[in-house]
Structure formats: structure tokens, C-alpha cells
Amino acid sequence: MLYLASQSPRRRELLARLGLAFAPLDIDVPEQRQPGEPPEDYVRRVAREKAGAGLLQVMAVAGAHVLGADTEVVLDDEVFGKPRDAADAAAMLRRLSGRTHRVISAVSLVSAAREAQAVSISEVSFAVLDAAAIAAYVATGEWDGKAGAYAIQGAAQAFVAHLSGSHSGVMGLPLYETARLLRAAGLLK
């Protein structure tokens, strides 16, 4: 049985595209970067911790596999998590405006017998955003709960001048890497 250690509707939607049956798990893992921790190490650690926390919930299920993921926006080595409020979202978007940032998405697949992980790193270049564009986007509320204060699958697509990497990875679950992990575990043909 496959479990997804996430309540994210985007991750559920993306994983469903692979045609596998799975059950979502509600887990609570603190997403706190340690002092001096490199961004990629942080994202990898959080994905692993989410999968591990999920596995603890389903240890009694024979053959259980748990998929955990984390996605963060990184600009100049600073990790942009989820904005606290609309003002924080606007500040993040102002900083991303006219710049290229990285989106790091890590996926961990764990079972009682094994652990595997993959990472997708994408580069996203934003157009220059004026104050009106930022205000209009923030007013949509789409930024809420999104790393870097934007959802590439929504209205923020209009901000993306160039994407090099994984569109699904920027959304929160890199499907190429996820499918590779699931195939290696014998869960996907």
C-alpha cells in the first residue's frame, strides 16, 4: 500500500496522475531550517522526516510505503518558506521580481525495509513585477500556503518568463523523480 505523507491538494493531484492508488496521511513535521544548513540539505531532510513520520503511523500495514516531499523556493541561499501573511507574500514577490530563483523539491520513499530519495532543482525566472501586479496577485489569496508566495499552476504562471527544470517539481512533487523511485520499489510499472 502506498501512502502520501501530505494533505496538499497539489501533491495529491500530481501523484494521482501516475495512476496509483494511495492514501493521504496527515502528518505534522516542523519545517525549520537549521543554522548553516544548506538549502538542498534542508529540503532533503524535511522530505525524509515527513516520510518517516508517515511510516510511524502505518507500521502495522504490511508492505506499506510512504512518500514524503518538500519544496522550497531559494533566492541567494535564502529559503523562502510559506508567507506568514499578505504583507510577507508581497515582500517575497518583490524580492523575486526580475530575478531567477531555484525551486528545490525533494521526494523520499520509505518502507520498513528501505529508503530512497530524489531531488529536482529547477530555475525559475520571474518577469519584473510592478506594485499593481503584486497587489492584484496577493488579493487573490493564491499565495497562501505556497513556498515563495506563488503557485506556478495558477495565476502566477504569468510571472514566469523562463522555467528550466520540472514544472511538477515547482508545483510540489516532481513526477519524473517520483516515478523513478516508485518503479525502483516495484510500485509502478
Q: Where are the domains of the chain?
A: 2-185
Residue 20 pLDDT more than 90? yes
Q: Which cell goes with 72?
A: 522550497
The pLDDT, as a whole number, for residue 72 is: 97
pLDDT in tens, 117-145: 999 999 999 999 999 999 999 999 999 99
CB 86 within 8 A of CB 138: yes
The pLDDT, as a whole number, for residue 185 is: 97
Q: What is the percentage of the chain residues whose pLDDT exceeds 90?
A: 99
How many other C-beta atoms can be found within 10 angstroms of the C-beta atom of residue 143?
A: 27
The three-point CA angle 100-6-115 to 5° equals 90
Burial 99-137 (b: 16+ CB within 10 A, else e): eebbbbbbbbbbbeeeebbbbbbbebebeebeeeebeeb
The pLDDT, as a whole number, for residue 2 is: 98
Our CA dihedral for 168, 1, 68, 11, rounded to 10 degrees, sits at 30
Q: DSSP label at 20?
A: -
Closest CA to 89 of 148, 133, 131: 148
Q: Which residue has the cell 538542498?
A: 40
CA atoms within 13 A of residue 170's CA, in its CB half-sphere: 22
Whether 76 is catalytic: no
Residue 7 pLDDT more than 90? no
The pLDDT, as a whole number, for residue 149 is: 98
Q: Single out the catalytic residue among 70, 76, 85, 130.
A: 70
Residue 73 pLDDT more than 90? yes
Residue 39 pLDDT more than 90? yes
pTM flag (> 0.85): yes
CB 29 within 8 A of CB 50: yes
Q: DSSP label at 151?
A: -
Q: Which cell goes with 164?
A: 528550466
Residue 20 is which amino acid?
A: L
Q: Which residue has the cell 496577485?
A: 137
CATH of domain 2-185: 3.90.950.10
